[in-house]
Amino acid sequence: MKKNIKIGIIGWGNMGSSLGLALQEEKKWQIYFYDKDKKKGRGVKYSHICKNAKELIEKVEVVILAIKPQDIRGFLQGNSEYFNEFKPLLITIAAGISTTFFQKYLKDARMIRVMPNLAIGVKQSVSFLCKGKFAKDSDLKMTKKIFSSVGEVFQVKESFLDKATSITGSGPGYIYYIMECVYKLALKLGFAKETAKRMVTSTFLGAAKLAKQSRKDFEVLVKEVASSGGTTEAALNVFKEKNIAEIIEEGVAAAYKKAKEIAGSYH
């Protein structure tokens, strides 16, 4: 029987725990994790908690680093020797930090950079990935296998990762914000809270499912809902007058600028 691959997650926060819990449902992985906050992950079943990063790096074949970008430098200063000694594959999901930056500390370590999103918890992530200088094709294959078990995977050049961060990494936050606006309007119209939340989530989910199944462009899909002289058209006319497209463009551009700023301070 093929043995389970040991995956270690460092940082059991929003992303690390969502990924770890989603992966442990699949029988093909054995999950290890370490968080400097000892309270995190207490009581988690079927995953192995490690007492420090060294223990984890020594035990596993793949390390997924899921700590905040601002914590990466300190982490590498304190732990790069263990990567050089035990040589696991390192996968980083930190926004904006290039493989070149990692490689300065990790010499010839095999690494892959991934930009997933929060929907990883429901196995609907959109993950973009690129190869570090010393990663092998088998490392790429392994990373694709891990992330395709929790959603869709696209391989791109590294320059596209910060762009993807502004669309798919931050994307769930944009969608939640719009959902919140529509939810508040439903409340204003008199719907009960529970009904309003279900109305909004089901409308977004239904629309997204239809769009995903369809080969039609978004523009065509919009026209299919907005019959001439109807209610949707009335709303869309207001959106166009107020130039909502421009506001969205500015917001996404600000996210991309921020990703590049983070990248600029770690090179």
> Would you count residue 42 as binding ligand NAP (CB under 6 A)?
no
Residue 228 CB burial class (10 angstroms; 0-12, 13-18, ≥19): exposed
Buried b (16+ CB within 10 A) or exposed e, 144-174: bebbebbbebeeeebeebbbbbbbbbbbbee
Chain residues 116-175 in contact with ligand NAP, contact rule CB under 6 A: 116-118, 169
Complex with ligand NAP: residue 67 or 89, whichever CB lies closer: 67
Supply the minimum distance, in Å, between the C-beta of residue 192 and ligand NAP: 30
Closest CA to 95 of 117, 123, 79: 117
In the complex, the smallest distance separating the C-beta of residue 77 from ligand NAP, rounded to whole angstroms, is 10
- d(CA 100, CA 104) in angstroms, rounded, equals 6
User: What residues from 204 to 233 belong to the interface with ligand NAP (CB under 6 A)?
Assistant: none
Q: With CB under 6 A as the contact rule, which of the stretches 8-16, 56-64, 206-214, 240-248 interacts with ligand NAP?
A: 8-16
| Residue 20 found at the interface with ligand NAP (CB under 6 A) | no
Reduce the secondary structure of 188-243 to three states and give it as a string: HCCCCHHHHHHHHHHHHHHHHHHHHHCCCCHHHHHHHHCCCCCHHHHHHHHHHHCC
Q: Fill in the per-residue mask, 70 to 89: x = in contact with ligand NAP (CB under 6 A), - = not in contact.
A: -x---x--------------
Q: Which is nearer to ligand NAP, 57 or 196 (CB)?
A: 57
Among the listed ranges 34-42, 130-138, 147-155, 203-211, the one in contact with ligand NAP (CB under 6 A) is 34-42
Interface residue list for ligand NAP (CB under 6 A): 10-16, 34-37, 40, 53, 66-69, 71, 75, 93-95, 115-118, 169
